[in-house]
Chain A
Amino acid sequence: AQTVTQSQPEMSVQEAETVTLSCTYDTSESNYYLFWYKQPPSRQMILVIRQEAYKQQNATENRFSVNFQKAAKSFSLKISDSQLGDTAMYFCAFNNAGNMLTFGGGTRLMVKP
């Protein structure tokens, strides 16, 4: 069974600064996908970024980028130029071909003005 661990329950960052959220996972699969989801107080789970395990290049989406270390089973999210609207719960998730998502426990991010 796969497990996903987010070791930072809460983090805060000043507006316009950079913050990195950590995620580690455990799996015996070789082909899988990793995701970061954002869940604001509105509860809607929104996909931030995804990474295919077979791709060595780290995914980037505007201000969001990942550091994917396959051998270490690490998948961290970097948010650059943090904005007040980035305040939310962030969940790391793992998915193999079965489409079932396994989520971590989440990191609550507060962006301070």
Chain B
Amino acid sequence: DAGVTQSPTHLIKTRGQQVTLRCSPKSGHDTVSWYQQALGQGPQFIFQYYEEEERQRGNFPDRFSGHQFPNYSSELNVNALLLGDSALYLCASIFSLSNEQFFGPGTRLTVL
């Protein structure tokens, strides 16, 4: 049984560009959360997707958007990248009847 997978592992972009990060949850999990972890800090909640809808959102601007597909996989899109968007982006997979979150290995985004 594959765990949570994320792609790509690393990504380098320049200011103003757009980026898409991808996450595949554990088998049987139907909910995906995204977190941003700046260097040396704890992760911060971006948003959560369930049944292809954004169910909950943290304090992030509209430049951050997402999508969930019928197979429960999810994308995180960030538009108009800023230097401050450089971070590790973590995806967490959840089964809706439980509250235990399984994290993927993350995508390291560097904005130059």
Contacts and interface: CB of A to CB of B under 8 A. Distances in A.
Interface of A: 4, 33, 37, 42-47, 50, 91, 93, 95, 97-106
Interface residues of B, number: 25
Given A44-B103, A44-B106, A100-B48, 5 more contacts: A45-B106, A91-B43, A93-B42, A97-B99, A102-B45
Interface in B28-45: 31, 33, 35, 40-45
Interface string B10-39: 000000000000000000000101010000
A107 B112 CA distance: 29
B99 A100 contact: no
Interface of B: 31, 33, 35, 40-45, 48, 56, 58, 88, 90, 92, 94, 99-106, 108
B41 A99 contact: no
